[in-house]
Homo-oligomer: A and B are copies of this chain.
Amino acid sequence: MSSIEEAKKVSSETPEHQPVNGDATDVGSKTKDDFDLAAAYVSDAQYNRNTFFDTSPQAVRLYQLYNHRGMKLFIYVFIIVDLGLAVFEEPALIPDMPIWATGVVELVCLIAFTARLVHYAKVIPHDKFWMDPKNIFIIVIISLSLVDMITYVGLKTAGHFGVRWSRVLRPLLLVNITEGRQLRRAFRSIRNALPQIMYVFLLFMFSVLMFSLMGLKLFGKRGLKTVEGASYFTNYLEIVFDLYVLVTTANSPDVMMPAYNYSSFFAVFFIVYILINTYIFMSVFLAVVYNNYKKYLKEEVRQLVKAKRRKMLRAFGVLQSGAGQESSVSKAHWTQLVCLVQPGISSGHRELLWSVSDDDKKGSIGKMAFVQLPDLLNIQVITMKSRPHPLKIWLPGLYNSAGSRLVRRMVQHRVFVYVYDVIILVNAVFIGLDEENPLISNAEWIFLALYLLEIVLKLYTFEPRAFFNKHEFWNWFDTIIVVAALIATIATSALKSSGYTSREILDIVFILRVFRLIRVVDSIQRFRAIINTLIKIWPTILTFGQLILVVYYIFAMVGMELFKNKIQFYGPNSTNPHKDYCGNPLLQGTAFAKNNYCKNNFNDVASSFVLLLELTVVNQWHVLASGFTSVTHMSARIFFVLFHIVVVIIIINIFVAFILEAFFVEYTLDKSDLQTSLEKKIEELELNFTLDETEGNLVDAMETNHDDLGPSQAPKEKPSLVFKIASRRYKTVDGLLQRMFEADLSLEDIDEEDEENPNFPNPVFGAV
């Protein structure tokens, strides 16, 4: 082919001049359906959805509806309502709700879940639908719930005893809905780590059993007594339980004292036991959980990245012009696609992304650049128009006067921050003092005025829309707290002058006052850096919050069925004669009753959750457990030990593993390549925007030795449209995860482009 012919060919491939053709791989101008399909692929890639949706236009539109934010909100609301039913159901926190009412609400929820599932079934091919375990799971949960409801109502109306056993299934909906991706991943990594945890656990239990046997032989025949006067180390199963509790440290040093009092040498037994089982084995558990967690997560994220790339290649296939190496997507098509995927995107932001993708300014982008689109969209870019302060426009004479300039310089000076830090500290002392004193209560007004003055001065100095940008967390925090405190304080004094005092409103006032003090943290660079890191890992903490919710809910439901109303709480001012033993004579003289733990019961869902939290914290869990075994049966211990194994040994360790990993990512990987290239482009185009130079992450702040740079700086005179990368906050948890393993993945994933296989196998992300 001559060069002239080649040039002709290239020019003839300019998309606008091609005949209309529905076939995705052909060149040509695209239909609305093509864009819808491509947008669905890009959106899936952006949010790491792995749905095998039907590519027919109506299915794609249904799929877009399925993924609509409102639909997701709708399904979460119904799940929360369904879970929340536990508040009204027997044993109820808020009683007097008839069975038919909760039944109807549950039925509505089940219908909503069914509707959502039917919608999903319409979106994806039938064979795929029935192969996906999470759909089967939802069908099973809905059916079982219906069966349970019917039998329960039947039993109740016939006057029989019935148990709402299907309630333990409810939280599993949270795991199995399409949106529960992160949660499923967390459960999968637990499931994958289980075999190894098992081996360590068995060895650990072997060690506990051996020590128990030794303890029985050493102490059993010596006739020792515990502080309560019970016989000490005489029953093997009791010893096993006591030593298991010692691993959790909850009965240290009490379990040792009788033997230690008898002979100092016996302390060696317990010291060796604690060293081996509490310190070494518990560390090994963390190591095993952490290592497995990391390993499987890595593999999953690798698959995610692959799947994302495949989806983008499909989208590229739909929109491409030209064939083979020459194929590309024109700017017009790209723009249309981006507008579909992210309707709210500003044109400036879009142009910026295009200029990053089309670095050579060719007017069209190839496969490699196109594939990066979802990652680019996932980088939070703050677009804002750089504009002068409104006062500068309205009252230029006043705003530019010498006095005004002095005020603005003052506010920007670091001494301004120091002065307010001192004010906050003085305020803290005043809060600590007795608020009944009129001097103190009046001082509150002064402090409020000072804080308001600060906000006004800052608004005078900085452009208000930049100051109240949605990413300026601390500015919003300060303002909301100060304004809320002002309102609450005014409300209190109004009430007080009308002779009425509400303890509750006073509580809120105090909380808001103390919250105001948190601002000190904001003004110290290193503290802010730590807090920023914590805020960044927040989405993950929320995923673990869901995980904990699922496990707690299941244990709460089981616990309520097992232990409801066995222990009664009578309130601190009650004069009920049963108060001293929680309304159950079996508790007379037990540590449970002595410690006044009566309110730690399974009589309603809120108490159950608080109790489970106390069990998670571990301390005194054996006392709580023994309270429930006293009122039921020795085997009730199984419930508590199982809870300890599941929550403390497995879930809390996974939580710690995640925090560690997330911190290390913050420490090592500073920015992704893509983000850097975006930042470079922003700087290249001189579109960068700085309200606050001192913001950084924990690493920057700790590694560099420079001191606090003082408060925010005013935006410089810059082009009318400026951008800022919202530090390194990720829109999705997947984004953080992918970043966690980016360093290891990037190379190997560029290797295998496997475009020759368009019928790619979707990685199986089954349900738990």
Asked if A667 is at the interface (CB within 8 A of a chain B CB), the reply is yes
Residues of B within 8 A of A607 (CB): 264
In the bound complex, residues from chain B placing their C-beta under 8 Å from that of A663 are 284, 287-288, 291
Interface size on A, residues (CB 8 A): 88
Task: For the complex, give the distance between the alpha carbons of A64 and B607 in Å.
Answer: 71
Closest 7 CB pairs of A and B: A217-B510, A287-B663, A283-B659, A249-B619, A252-B619, A253-B614, A214-B514
Contacts of A271-287 to chain B: CB distance below 8 A: 271, 274, 278-280, 283-284, 286-287
Decide yes or no whether A77 CB sits under 8 A from chain B: no
**A 198-218 to B, binary, CB cutoff 8 A, 1 in contact else 0:** 011011001000100110111
User: Given A617-B252, A659-B280, A660-B290, A210 and B610 touching (CB < 8 A)?
Assistant: no
Give the residue of B514, B541, B619 whose beta carbon is less than 8 angstroms from that of A619. Answer: B619
A231 CB–B CB distance under 8 Å: no
Residue-by-residue, is A248-275 near B (CB-CB < 8 Å gives 1, otherwise 0)?
0111111001101110100100010010
Q: A249-B618, A260-B599, A702-B199 are in contact. Are A287 and B206 (CB under 8 A)?
A: no
Copies in the complex: 2
Given contacts A254-B595, A291-B663, 4 further A-B contacts (CB under 8 A): A236-B432, A279-B655, A283-B656, A286-B659
Interface presence of A507 (CB below 8 A): yes
Nearest residue, chain B, Cβ from A276: B534
Which of B217, B284, B507, B599 interacts with A530 by CB under 8 Å? B284
The reply to whether B264 and A606 form a contact with Cβ atoms under 8 Å apart is yes
Query: How far does the alpha carbon of A445 sit from the alpha carbon of B202 in the complex, in Å?
Result: 30
Distance of A599 Cα from B267 Cα, bound (Å): 11
Cβ–Cβ contact B594 & A214, under 8 A: no
Check if B227 sits within 8 Å of A526, measured CB to CB.
no
A534 CB to nearest chain B CB (Å): 7
- Distance in angstroms from A544 CB to nearest chain B CB is 10
| A interface list, Cβ under 8 A from B | 195-196, 199-200, 202-203, 206, 210, 213-214, 216-218, 224, 227, 236, 249-254, 257-258, 260-262, 264, 267, 271, 274, 278-280, 283-284, 286-288, 290-291, 428, 431-432, 435, 507, 510-511, 513-514, 517-518, 520-521, 526-527, 530-531, 534, 541, 569, 571-572, 594-597, 599-600, 606-607, 610, 613-614, 617-620, 624, 652, 655-656, 659-660, 663-664, 667, 702
Q: Are A599 and B432 in contact (CB-based, < 8 A)?
A: no
Which of A250, A619, A624 has the largest number of chain B CB atoms within 10 A?
A619
Q: Distance (Å) between the CB of A556 and the closest chain B CB? A: 15
Q: Does the CB pair A667–B210 fall under 8 Å?
A: no
Task: Note all chain B residues with C-beta closer than 8 A to A656.
Answer: 283, 286
Residue of B nearest to A534 (CB): B280
Q: Which residue of B lies closest to A211 (CB)?
A: B514
Q: List chain B residues, Cβ under 8 A from A702.
A: 195-196, 199
Q: In the complex, what residues of B have CB within 8 A of residue A274's CB?
A: 613, 617
Complex CA–CA separation, A252 to B248 (angstroms): 13
15 contacts between A and B (CB under 8 A): A199-B530, A206-B521, A210-B514, A218-B507, A218-B511, A227-B594, A227-B595, A249-B618, A253-B620, A253-B624, A254-B595, A264-B607, A283-B659, A286-B660, A288-B663
Contact B510–A253 (Cβ < 8 Å): no
Contact A200 B617, beta carbon cutoff 8 Å: no
Q: How far is the CA of A597 from the CA of B255 in the complex (A)?
A: 11
